[in-house]
Chain A
Amino acid sequence: MKAPRLRPAQQTDSAIAASTREKAPLLNISENIKAPYLRIEHLTKKFGNFTALHDVSLDIAEGEFVCFLGPSGCGKTTLLRAVAGLDIQTRGKVWQGGRDISDLPASMRDFGIVFQSYALFPNLKIYKNIAYGLENKKLPRAQIAARVDELLQLVGLGGQGNKYPAQLSGGQQQRVALTRALATSPGLLLLDEPLSALDAKVRAHLRHEIKDLQRRLNVTTIMVTHDQEEALTMADRIVLINQGIIEQVGTPRQMYRQPQTLFVADFIGAMNQIACLSGGSGRAKIGALTVACRPHALGENLPGVLTIRPEDLIPKAAPRPKADAEPAGNDKTGAASSSGNSIEAIIRDMEFLGSIWRATLASTSLGDDRLQAEFSVNAVQRMDLAPGKSITVELPPDRITIFPGKQIQSDNQIRSDERIHG
């Protein structure tokens, strides 16, 4: 039997929203931790038969800058809109500031939102756009004017209040949208891919601005993005979502250095993936080669993926070819032995990127898989590396992670079906 819902009598939407911001009794938790400002519990969202979000749970602390990151269609915008109350979830609970807002429509919640298109009111001047929420509160005109001017100064648009949105650049419009959302001092700031519509230089600049603003105002912020560079530079914590489930939550450093699933390892940054067999804890087998790696719990002889970042490969000079070595078939790498975490390889291709070289390496030990490595300009010069040369690369064990399962086909992965020709 459902408990009767008590509708606050004659309370306006904004009054309800205001009370959301009050300090409410803390949630029941056993630890001595301050309650999270935003709590999402077992949230599921279905559109007809399609499940966009599956049992998502998350805590966000007050003043935190969190990024929802993931490929297109993963559900990150759906999650944001559920928090906003624009597309309320099918199941699950959302708590903001200690208050259960799970079934409240957007106008009864406490947030400001910036959309990808900014949705600035085109026929209203900048001043009127920013003052829009304030005017509705029946505040005295002088107070509104002061607040708008203060906000315009804050984002570097002082004195531009009399212009129309169409007269501003994309970056300026973005900042107006931001200040409009912040004008009413909401408890939560939601950004839905705010930088996607801007070109690269403006985007880089605005990243700093948004982050600065957020730090200064200490407003809890959630930003949706598909650009991992944005997430890595801006977020306090990143929530990586894939096909409706959270893959991992962590600081940018944690996500990059300690990915917990193959998807995370592949999505963030570039990552080499080599098919292997697990060989007991701390070991993996690639063909005949046994490689030492980070401890894992995979058991023995199970299919897995060996991962290592390009910048972690250490170049060493190639050993001299042995006198009695027999050429093995089409093999051009000379000495066949790669032992442990040292692999003999030949450089297939090199790309110059200014501060580093990116090299594609092939090796008989790896079969058809290729390794991508990043070498410093100095190392390349010192060892006189060039396409066609032999090289030994060292794979430090503590930089290798083994994941169960198969390799992911993606742009990040370096796969080639070329055979090594003689």
Chain B
Amino acid sequence: MTDSAIASPGIDVKPRLSTDDLVMRGFIILVGLWMIVVVLLPLYFMMSKSFQDHDGNFIGLANFITYFSTPALTYSINNSFFVAIVSTLITVTLAFTYAYALTRSRILGKGLFKAVALSPLLAPSLLPAISFVYFFGKQGIINGLLGGQSIYGPIGIIMGEVFYTFPHAMMILIIALSTADARLFEAASSLRASRFRTFVTVTLPGVKYGLISALFVVFTLVITDFGIPKVIGGQFNVLAVDIYKQVIGQQNFEMGAVVSVVLLFPAVVAFIVDRIVQRRQVAQLTSGAMPYDPKPNGLFDALMLLYCALIAFIILAILGMAIYASFVKFWPYNMSLGLSNYDFDVMDGGGWGSFMNSLQMASLTALFGTAIIFTGAYMVEKAKGFGAVRAAVQFLAILPMAVPGMVLGLAYIFFFNHPDNPLNGIYATMTILVIVTITHFYTVSHLTAMTALKQMDPEFEAVSASLKVPFYRTFARVTVPVCLPAILDISIYLFVNAMTTVSAVIFLYSTDTSLASVAAINMDDAGDIAPAAAMCVMILFACASVRLVHGLATAGLRRRTQAWRKR
């Protein structure tokens, strides 16, 4: 043992912070403040508005009482839940079977089937609604199939929502079904379990978290969607459209706020359930698990192939109809093809300027959004100490997922248009559109970034510190290049969603900053359904092109960095 002549005093050591620590903490605080300004404060202002009258005086629950005693308004709650539940059940069943075919059978063309199934993501939500009008509307080509029912109303909404949410459900279920342990299936077969029994006792329990997640994600998407019920809802009122009607139609901002609060409830509940499920979905794969390699089975594979082909055909038909109809000069009287519907400048809705604005907005969203979100995620993940603040910022980053787009848009009106707000200069500019879109799609981007960052060796920063290299050098030279695939994924996600989104921006655009998706809605409102289809096709085209570039860039990137990537 050693002799230490001086006994140390009994006071705790107070660690000094390095420059790196200070910079990281400063950045985290900035991100925290940013999130407060773009999420918390607007929501607070909106919720206070629901307790105020036209003049801004506090009137307690009076607005809510008015709301709940107006059957015309409260009936929307039933309607919203009805379409949401029915759509969810249909979508998840269809998507599960599709995902099952892609992961558990030996059919050919899986890559193609997956690409087709993901294509609805590239279109604004009102595109299927427009297609259905052409299929099943008064002058629709196969409207006999509906047996006399009108496409306008719950049928149209449900069909449209199923198309719109199908890719989301499929992606979640593919991941859930892919994490299968081959040994469980071998054990079941050696115990002579029938195919059905294996499905019920091995497959389903293995995907239960994925199923629950898919159910709640789809439910939230449907109940908060605006585009489809606006175009094809007819007299069937849902909550999202009610908000729009109250704010734009009736200029009754307070009632709009009340309906927003009502819409928040199912969204928040679904969000909480999904979070709990995500926590439980800790590595279901134990070490030693073998990946599942399905065996060829003639009849089963044939059925699955037929099923996938059918679904893919329907998806392509819906997209195809919108594209076709956009070229038809005057349906159904002049079926010759031409570009007259693309002459946006002569129509109400914003003209080609809206499309250019959308491209600009989407690019700015992708650029700034990726930078802010990825850097913020890095700071939260890699900073040392500062636990409480990091947890708070992490929470704020997850929060936007619980907020429906319409609610966010409305909240931004109340907050940024407030005369006393020093930031109100950004109202009615491109800036506010970019900010609301980044905020609306913050959570998924943030989680993608966190997943990629957690896969990096946790000691890079420690090595960097021991070599006296400031952390931002290592961030630029190591972290970003290694995470580049994830960064590209985040940027394409932001771009495509910015191009196709309607709900958040419908309240915040101005004549100078009108957007393509909003122009489509407005043209449809004015009865110009073919130009609305044309605008949707332009959006689809832009998204598909950028997606293609992204795919090529990612493949090229992987090839060039093959030398040092583990895979």
A17 adjacent to B468 (CB under 8 Å): yes
- Chain B residues lying within 8 Å of A13, measured Cβ to Cβ, are 18-19, 468
Q: How far is the CB of A56 from chain B (nearest CB, A)?
A: 10
What 0/1 readout, one digit per residue, does chain A (228-259) give for beta carbons within 8 Å of chain B?
Answer: 00000000000000000010010000000000
Q: How far is the CA of A49 from the CA of B56 in the complex (A)?
A: 51
Contact B16 A108, beta carbon cutoff 8 Å: yes
Answer yes or no: B563 CB below 8 A from chain A CBs. yes
Q: Are A105 and B13 in contact (CB under 8 A)?
A: no
Residue of B nearest to A2 (CB): B11
Q: Report yes or no: A136 in contact with B564, Cβ–Cβ below 8 A.
A: no
A1-38 interface bits toward B, Cβ cutoff 8 Å, 1 = contact, 0 = none: 01001000000111001000000000011100000000
User: Do residues A107 and B463 form an inter-chain contact, with CB atoms below 8 A?
Assistant: no
Instruction: List, sorted by A's number, 11 A–B pairs whose CB atoms are closer than 8 Å.
Output: A12-B19, A41-B4, A41-B6, A59-B2, A84-B462, A91-B8, A91-B10, A107-B19, A119-B459, A164-B563, A180-B467
Contact status of A166 and B564, CB under 8 A, knowing A117-B459, A136-B468, A184-B468: yes
Structural contact, B13 and A103, CB atoms closer than 8 A: yes
Whether, in the assembled complex, B466 has its beta carbon less than 8 Å from a beta carbon of chain A, the answer is yes
Chain A, residues 35-56, CB within 8 Å of chain B (1/0): the string is 0000101100000000000000
- Complex interface: chain A residues within 8 A of B474 (CB): 121
The interface residues of chain A lying within 8 Å CB-to-CB of B419 are none
CA distance A184 to B469 in the complex (A): 12
For A89, give the chain B residue with the smallest CB separation: B13
Nearest CB in chain B to that of A30: its residue: B5
A residues 101-132 in Cβ contact with B at 8 Å: 102-109, 111-113, 115, 117, 119, 121-124, 132
A342 at the interface (CB under 8 A from B): no
Q: How many positions in chain A have a CB within 8 Å of any CB in the partner chain?
A: 56
Known: A17-B468, A105-B16. A166 touches B566 (CB 8 A): yes
**Chain B facing A: main interface SS:** loop
Which of B15, B457, B468 has the most A CB atoms < 10 Å from its CB?
Answer: B468
Contacts A41-B8, A122-B482 known; A107 to B564 CB distance under 8 Å?
no
A133→B2 contact, CB < 8 A: no
Chain B residues whose CB sits within 8 angstroms of the CB of A113 once the complex forms? 462-463, 466
CB atoms of B563 and A88 under 8 A apart: no
Binary contact track B2-30/A, C-beta < 8 Å → 1, others 0? 10111110111111111111000000000
> From residue 461 to 482 of chain B, which have CB atoms closer than 8 A to chain A?
462-463, 465-470, 473-474, 477-478, 481-482
Query: Are B565 and A166 touching (Cβ within 8 A)?
Result: yes
A136 CA / B6 CA spacing, docked (Å): 38
Which residues of B have CB within 8 Å of A123? 478, 481-482, 561, 564
Bound Cα distance A91, B469 (Å): 28
- B1 at interface by CB-CB < 8 Å: yes
**Which residues of B have CB within 8 Å of A108?**
16, 18
- Within 8 Å of chain B (Cβ to Cβ): is A93? yes
Any chain A CB within 8 A of the CB of B460?
Answer: yes
- Which of the listed residues A91, A112, A122, A136 has the most CB atoms from chain B within 10 Å of its own CB? A122
Are A105 and B467 in contact, CB atoms less than 8 angstroms apart? no
Cα–Cα, bound, A246→B564 (Å): 42
Which of A30, A59, A107, A186 meets B465, CB within 8 Å?
A: A107
Q: Given the complex of chains A and B, what is the CA–CA distance between A117 and B34 in angstroms?
A: 36
Is A92 close to B, CB under 8 A?
Answer: yes
Q: How far is the CA of A92 from the CA of B473 in the complex (A)?
A: 33
B566 to chain A, nearest CB (A): 6
Residues of B contacting A105 with CB < 8 Å?
A: 15-18, 20-21, 465
Nearest CB in chain B: distance from A46 CB, A: 9
A75 within 8 A of B: no
Q: Is the CB of B18 within 8 A of A107?
A: yes
Interfacial residues of chain B within 183-234, with CB under 8 A of chain A in the complex: none
Q: How far is the CA of A107 from the CA of B470 in the complex (A)?
A: 9
Which residues of chain A are near B18, meaning CB under 8 Å? 13, 105-108
Q: Which residues of A contact B477 (CB under 8 A)?
A: 121, 124
Question: Quick one: which of A88, A92, A115 contacts B8, CB cutoff 8 A?
Answer: A92
From residue B324, how far is it (CB to closest CB) to chain A in Å? 47
- Cβ of B19: which chain A residues have Cβ within 8 Å of it? 12-13, 107
Q: Which residues of B contact A (CB under 8 A)?
A: 1-2, 4-8, 10-21, 457, 459-460, 462-463, 465-470, 473-474, 477-478, 481-482, 561, 563-566
Q: Does A90 contact B (CB under 8 A)?
A: yes
Whether A197 is near chain B, meaning CB under 8 Å from some CB there, is no
**In the complex, what residue of chain B is closest to A88 when comparing beta carbons?**
B15
Which A residues are in CB contact (< 8 Å) with B17? 105
Q: Which of B16, B466, B481 has the most CB of A within 10 A?
A: B466
C-alpha gap A133/B565 in the complex (Å): 23
| A104 in contact with B468 (CB, 8 Å) | no
> A51 to chain B: closest CB distance in Å?
13
The 9 closest A-B CB pairs, nearest first, are A133-B467, A105-B18, A164-B564, A106-B465, A88-B15, A119-B459, A14-B468, A107-B465, A42-B8
A86 interface contact, C-beta 8 A: yes
- The answer for the CA separation of A276 and B114 in the assembled complex, in Å, is 74
- Chain A residues with CB below 8 A from B460, complex form: 119, 121
Contact partners of A97 in chain B: CB under 8 A: none
A115 to B463: give the CA distance in the assembly, Å: 9
What chain B residues lie within 8 Å of A246 (beta carbons)? 1
Query: Is the C-beta of A282 less than 8 angstroms from some C-beta in chain B?
Result: no
In addition to A2-B11, A105-B465, A167-B563, 19 A-B residue pairs with Cβ atoms within 8 Å of each other are A5-B16, A57-B4, A59-B2, A85-B465, A86-B465, A91-B11, A106-B18, A107-B19, A111-B466, A113-B463, A119-B459, A119-B460, A119-B463, A122-B565, A122-B566, A136-B467, A166-B563, A166-B565, A184-B467
Query: Which chain A residues lie closer than 8 Å to B468 at the CB level?
Result: 13-14, 17, 107, 133, 136-137, 184
In the complex, what distance in Å separates the CA atom of A165 from the CA atom of B460?
14
Contact, CB under 8 Å: B462 / A92:
no
Please judge, given known A-B contacts A105-B465, A119-B457, A122-B564, whether A249 and B1 are in contact too, CB under 8 Å.
Answer: yes
CB-based contact B459/A112 at 8 Å = no
Bound-state Cα–Cα, A58 to B1, Å = 7
Is there an interface contact between B13 and A112, defined as CB atoms closer than 8 Å? no
CB pair A103 B14 closer than 8 Å: yes
Q: In the complex, what's the smallest C-beta–C-beta distance from B488 to chain A, in angstroms?
A: 15
Chain B contacts for A2, CB-based, 8 A: 11
Chain B hits for A41, CB < 8 A: 4, 6, 8
User: Which residues of A lie under 8 Å from residue B564 when comparing CB positions?
Assistant: 122-123, 164-167
**Which residues of the other chain, B, contact A103 by a CB distance below 8 angstroms?**
13-16
Bound complex: CA A181 to CA B6 (Å): 33
| B interface footprint on A177-189 (CB within 8 Å = 1, 0 otherwise) | 0001100101000
Q: Give Cα A86–Cα B18 distance, bound, in whole angstroms.
A: 11
Closest to B10 in A: A91
When distances are taken between beta carbons in the complex, the residues of chain A under 8 Å from B463 are 113, 115, 119, 180
Q: Is the CB of A136 within 8 A of B473?
A: yes
Residues of B within 8 A of A102 (CB): 13
A137 to B, closest residue via Cβ: B468
Closest B residue to A128 by CB, please name it. B477
Verify B13–A92 contact, CB threshold 8 A: yes
Q: How near does chain B come to A13, taking the closest CB pair, in angstroms?
A: 6
Q: Could you say which residues of chain A place their CB within 8 Å of the CB of B473? A: 136
In the complex, the answer to whether B466 meets A57 with C-beta atoms within 8 Å is no
Closest B residue by C-beta to A59: B2
Given the complex, which residues of A lie within 8 Å of B11, measured CB to CB? 2, 91
Residues of B with C-beta under 8 A to A167: 563-564
Residue of B nearest to A112 (CB): B466
Nearest A residue to B459 by beta-carbon distance? Answer: A119
**A 67-104 binary contact with B (CB < 8 Å = 1; else 0):** 00000000000000000111011111100000000111
Q: How far is the CA of A381 from the CA of B5 in the complex (A)?
A: 58
A90 touches B5 (CB 8 A): no
Q: How far is the CA of A122 from the CA of B474 in the complex (A)?
A: 12
Determine how close the nearest CB of chain B comes to the CB of A210; give it in whole angstroms. 18
Q: How far is the CB of B10 from chain A (nearest CB, A)?
A: 7
By a CB distance below 8 angstroms, the chain A residues around B5 are: 28-30
Report yes or no: B4 in contact with A84, Cβ–Cβ below 8 A: no
Q: Which residues of B contact A109 (CB under 8 A)?
A: 466
Task: State A133–B2 Cα separation when bound (angstroms).
Answer: 35
In the complex, the chain A residue whose C-beta lies closest to that of B474 is A121
